[in-house]
Amino acid sequence: MKITDVQTAVITGNFDWVLVKIVTDEGVTGLGEAYWGVGVNELVHKCKPLIIGENPINVGMLYEKMIRGMSGAGSIGGATVTAISGIELALWDLVGNALNTPISTLFGGRFRDKIRIYADCHAGDEYTPEAYAKKAREVVDAGFTAIKFDLDQQNDERRKLWVDEDLGRHHKFEPYNRTIPPSQREYMESLCAAVREEVGPDIMLAMDCHWRYTTHDVTLLAQDLEKYNLMWLEDPVPPENIKAQARVTNNTRTPICTGENRYRKHGYQELIEMHAADIIAPDIPKMGGLLEAKKVADWADVYYIPIAPHNVSSPIGTVAAAHVCASMSNFLVMEYHAYDVKWWETLVNEPVIQDGFIHLNDKPGHGLTLNEDVARAHLKEGTTYFGEGI
């Protein structure tokens, strides 16, 4: 069997979903997805000559061939690795289809058939405890057992108010120096308290800081949030400095999670070996793909660190990632970022989510087929549909 073509279709969802199709001379195909990003679609096509004519069964070798062949474009991280990830996902689907086997079987089989997902929640533009609690209730009533909110996304006027109010009393506060005024910290705690009170102690609740804060101020925040038993506090400090990350992690009982900005297994080396986070969140269709994510998960497991993948993909990338999550002993929960994208699941012909879990089927590959009508209806303007018209 030989690869004869690599095609893409960019679907406009809440992000650009870069779908990747691989075609072979035996008629077997695979469908994958790369995380969104400027140039990712083009980079998939740049990788194409490296794998045309190759046997798709050799996924590990083809991944290395693309990483090495694309080193000039920058394959340590970024859009190049993301593009390669989309191809890698498609290759695993293709191998599964060729062998009439689910992807999870190719990764050692399943610890679980149901993959717990957490709903990333947005409470509109209000950023009030009441709005957060209302949204939390809605999502939990929809069946989710795990949810996440943003703690850092308060609107500009409110941020300005904090800065203006606190400037007089606390001279260190201004918008760009990553500090958290005490009144803002108290407000963040009130958001957290409102959600916890609404959903009770058993719902798994995470909060995201999007890399905004100083080590000291966000450590105070993490300590103040300890009584709410968070599933985790995410990305407290900027992602580049693992020692700063470790300092926060080591100074609070609130579990700290990070990892969505890192690429390939090398990107997780220090994070794992310094035990700089309590939970690691690789974005699988971004960081290198299924096999690279499995390697990171096994490496993290040596340090008894669980894996909670970041995810903003369509059902294709999400369920492909869910197959490898099924094979990880240390899987915790995976992100679902499309709660408010009501047509998300209609992109495929098979049911995906039920009661807050992805239910894997036993069909070959990732087990999903594209709903062509829905995909075409949301095709990104100015792009082509899997090679049509080229």
Q: Which chain residues interact with Mg ion by CB under 5 A?
A: 208, 234
Q: How far is the CB of 147 from Mg ion (least distance, A)?
A: 13
Q: How far is the CB of 235 from Mg ion (least distance, A)?
A: 5
Taking the least distance from each CB to Mg ion, the nearer of 104 and 311 is 311
Taking the least distance from each CB to Mg ion, the nearer of 70 and 209 is 209
Q: How far is the CB of 64 from Mg ion (least distance, A)?
A: 29
Taking the least distance from each CB to Mg ion, the nearer of 207 and 358 is 207
> What would the two tokens of residue 236 be?
């407290």
Q: How many residues does the chain have?
A: 390
Q: How far is the CB of 212 from Mg ion (least distance, A)?
A: 11
Which residue has the CB atom at the shortest distance from Mg ion? 208
Residue reference for tokens 């105070």: 220
Q: How far is the CB of 234 from Mg ion (least distance, A)?
A: 5
> What would the two tokens of residue 228 be?
């709410």
3-state secondary structure the chain: CCEEEEEEEEEECCCEEEEEEEEECCCCEEEEEECCCCCHHHHHHHHHHHHCCCCCCCHHHHHHHHHHHCHHHCCCCCHHHHHHHHHHHHHHHHHHHHHCCEHHHHCCCCCCCEEEEEEECCCCCCCCHHHHHHHHHHHHHCCCCEEEEECCCCCHHHHHHHHHHHHCCCCCCCCCCCCCCHHHHHHHHHHHHHHHHHHCCCCEEEEECCCCCCHHHHHHHHHHCHHHCCCEEECCCCCCCHHHHHHHHCCCCCCEEECCCCCCHHHHHHHHHCCCCCEECCEHHHHCCHHHHHHHHHHHHHCCCCECCECCCCHHHHHHHHHHHHCCCCECCEEECCCCCCCHHHHECCCCEECCEEECCCCCECCCCECHHHHHHCECCCCCCCCCCC
Taking the least distance from each CB to Mg ion, the nearer of 311 and 314 is 311
Q: How far is the CB of 82 from Mg ion (least distance, A)?
A: 16
CA atoms within 13 A of residue 376's CA, in its CB half-sphere: 5
Q: How far is the CB of 260 from Mg ion (least distance, A)?
A: 6
Q: How far is the CB of 143 from Mg ion (least distance, A)?
A: 22
Taking the least distance from each CB to Mg ion, the nearer of 166 and 335 is 335
Taking the least distance from each CB to Mg ion, the nearer of 96 and 285 is 285
Taking the least distance from each CB to Mg ion, the nearer of 144 and 232 is 232
Q: How far is the CB of 240 from Mg ion (least distance, A)?
A: 16
Taking the least distance from each CB to Mg ion, the nearer of 217 and 234 is 234
Taking the least distance from each CB to Mg ion, the nearer of 108 and 239 is 239
